[in-house]
Amino acid sequence: MPKGANQKFKLYRLAQIMLECTDEEHYITMPEILKALEAYGITADRKSIYTDLRDLEVLGLEVEGEPMGNRYHYHVVDRPFELPELKLLVDAVQSSKFITEKKSNALIRKLEKLVSKFEARKLQGQVYVSGRIKTMNESIYYTVDAIHHAISTNKKIYFQYYQWNVKKEMELRRGGDWYHISPWGLSWDDENYYLIGFDSGPQQVRHYRVDKMLHIRASEEDREGKSCFKKLNMADYARKSFGMFGGKEETVKILVDNELAGVIMDRFGKDVRLIPVDEKHFTVQVQVHISKQFLGWIFSLGEQVKILSPKEVAGQMEQEAKRLLRQYADGEAE
């Protein structure tokens, strides 16, 4: 049999055919393999394909042949990712506000290549990126990469930080002045990505929305705040900061209705201690950053929760309730 012009690509094309056309539910026969190779300008005989399939297994691609009738049917087994795992990854990408719609679609297309064309259709059936709330900062990939590089090389970073004004215009904070921060980690909270770093000026741990960082560049200065971050648990920091809004850290004692035990554990973890008070209530002590976002979370749980201590925090809750009452008591109905 004459050799095809693309014969040197035979093993690569065979792997491609097996990955694209087979899975646990879809098989391919030897005649179909030969025909698919011919479409790439590659000729082969059955004997050489048997050898090539064994070679693929040595390279890490396991192909299984099963007798069906008078033919063998071949398919790939044990892929790096199972379909349910990829569905989880697709869900994460499409729900992430810090990834633009364009980048989300590009990432999902790459994930689809990890399964057969048949399973890729199942992934496509659950993709709903258009219309979701997404960042408009297309430089997000570069920003994340620059942060990781600065952390690995122990350097500070410079960047500008922006917010949106009422005219829907990008507005630089601090009048466009540069932030000079020591990056120590990245945290994903409430579908947003945050840089957690050390600000040498006030000597404080600060966090910044990654999608609102612009023109990031490396500094020649080494990072500061190492001793501070040795004592800081990143996951714990994110859990204490409601919506990643900062504030003074306090240990707050809360009286909670038993029906909200799941809500408390969802927010603070299963290790939190729930101390029974009576048949209907328990108390819990949690460390949080006191902010309006925390007080708003307490408000949202209604009469089923009450801050017991510290008195200052309970007082802030009272003042916030009075402020809301004043704000709406005198309002005119529309």
Distance CA 123, CA 255 (A): 45
Q: Determine the length of the chain.
A: 334
User: Domain 140-232, what fold?
Assistant: SH3 type barrels. (2.30.30)
| List of the chain residues with pLDDT < 50 | 1, 333
Q: What is the pLDDT of residue 16?
A: 93
- What would the pLDDT profile of 22-51 be if each residue is shown by its tens digit? 998 999 999 999 999 999 999 888 999 999
User: Domain 244-329, what fold?
Assistant: Alpha-Beta Plaits (3.30.70)
Domain boundaries, the chain: 7-77, 83-124, 140-232, 244-329
140-232 and 244-329: same fold? Answer: no
Three state DSSP letters for the chain: CCCCCCHHHHHHHHHHHHHHHCCCCCCEEHHHHHHHHHHCCCCCCHHHHHHHHHHHHHCCCEEEEEEECCEEEEEEECCCCCHHHHHHHHHHHHHCCCCCHHHHHHHHHHHHCCCCHHHHHHHHCCCCCCCCCCCCCCCHHHHHHHHHHHHHHCEEEEEEEEEECCCCCEEEHHHHCCEEEEEEEEEEECCEEEEEEEECCCCEEEEEEHHHEEEEEEEEEECCCHHHHHCCCHHHHHHHCHHHCCCCEEEEEEEEEHHHHHHHHHHHCCCCCCEECCCCEEEEEEEEECCHHHHHHHHHCHHHEEEEECHHHHHHHHHHHHHHHHHHHCCCCC
CATH class of 7-77: mainly alpha
